[in-house]
Structure 1
Amino acid sequence: MSQSSINLTVTLDTIVGSRTDSDSAAMTGSMRIELDSYESPTTITLHQYELNAGSLSFFFDYSFLGTISATAEGMSMSMPAGATPVTGTVMPDGTFLVTDVPNQTAGLISVTGTGAAGTALNDTMLDLSTLPQDPIEVSGIVNVDAGVVTIAISLPLDNSTMDPNTGTTVTLAGSATVIANGDVPEPVCLPDTNGDGAVTPADFSAWIAAFNAMAPACDQNGDGACTPADFSAWVGNYNAGCN
């Protein structure tokens, strides 16, 4: 994710006026996706992402009224643990949009100031994890070439909060741009139920054992259940073999 970054604009609305500043930083992290096809995908599923940003600094000049400085540390965006994977449609040109993606933003923004502007702010600390954690829309483009999946996505970072003690409103507007790639996963060979890398009659005994144990390898028709219908599916998969 060497080309990934976060771009953030912070607006302060205080009793002495409104000021805006922007900054950007590199991002690191990981992401796990799934495509329904690694040749011509029509859907993409987000399973997990955890993105961490470098430090961001902001400066707000209120002229003779003083200045305000803000520093964002430990900013991150992630899917909460245990969140249900979310699927979206991939268009023929590779673009996609995934809606209602559970997102958790964290990090601390510390704000200090001088003069009347600083007094109006009274040194504020903003914990991003306490802000509303609404689902987001994730858009981007995905491409598969020579066994490598490349994905470029944009995650919005928009929020606002008011300090009831000072009346100051802090508004965040920006996005995280993530560019990542990974190898196409090895295809699953369903009839190889004993996992020895070959499709042989021994896999029948392994399927019977999986059926009796209600193990994942029993599900040969992909319906998410282990039933007698999976025997016919296993026979079909066995006859088809694997490349």
Structure 2
Amino acid sequence: MVSEFPVFKSHEYPISNTVKKYVCHSRKVLELAALYGWEPGARYTNLRDVRGVSQLGFLDINWKDYDFERHLAAAKAYRPEVTVAQDVVDRAELSKILDQAERLSEYANTVIVVPKDLRLAEYLTSLIPSRYRLGYSVPTRYGGTEIPISAFGQREIHLLGGRPDVQRDLANRLNVASLDTNRFTLDAGFGDYFDGEKFRPHPTGGYEVCLKASLENMNAIWQNYRHVAATMEKESE
């Protein structure tokens, strides 16, 4: 059986108050987000908007039609801070995906492994080596991670996509070290912005105005969040 979710002893261990935030979008959005401390991301299938960046933050994948060799080539060319391996939707594929993650780690500082098969839940943290960050796909109408949150233990987590309010709520139960989202860019196109709790129409509107307001409010909800660093000893109770 999977144990209950552990309590972090954040007051007893050295902590990091910086949750890395990444956005994959147009050059305009990347440049604007950088002013708010967000780092640039891109899928390996569309690297046009990150050409010339000094450091690629997040190299994302085309999960519907994954091509490992193309992904590896992009990682080698751009040396991202973080990249994500193919989703583990079938436990039988875990060994192959961990081998791919090992090769990706030659070119990325951190590799995220995303467990999706419910059969991984009971032994999740022992089956996936601690040198990999675990990915949690934030539930949306298109799907998401169904493995119980308790299975992730105290491992560092990257939140993949979803609404900013849902991401922040998950962080109360997961040890979140990084996240990516572009949901706020979609709403900005309709004149909506994230107000710290939900998306609503902006009083004046305008795409860039909505982007700036959302970025400011997303930063605000993470301001006092603390995660337990992966290199530090942890305990549960």
TM-score, normalised to structure 1, is 0.21
Larger Rg: 1
Q: Where is the helix percentage greater, Structure 1 or Structure 2?
A: 2
Q: TM-score, normalised by structure 2?
A: 0.22
Structure having greater relative contact order (Cα 8 Å, sep ≥ 6): 2
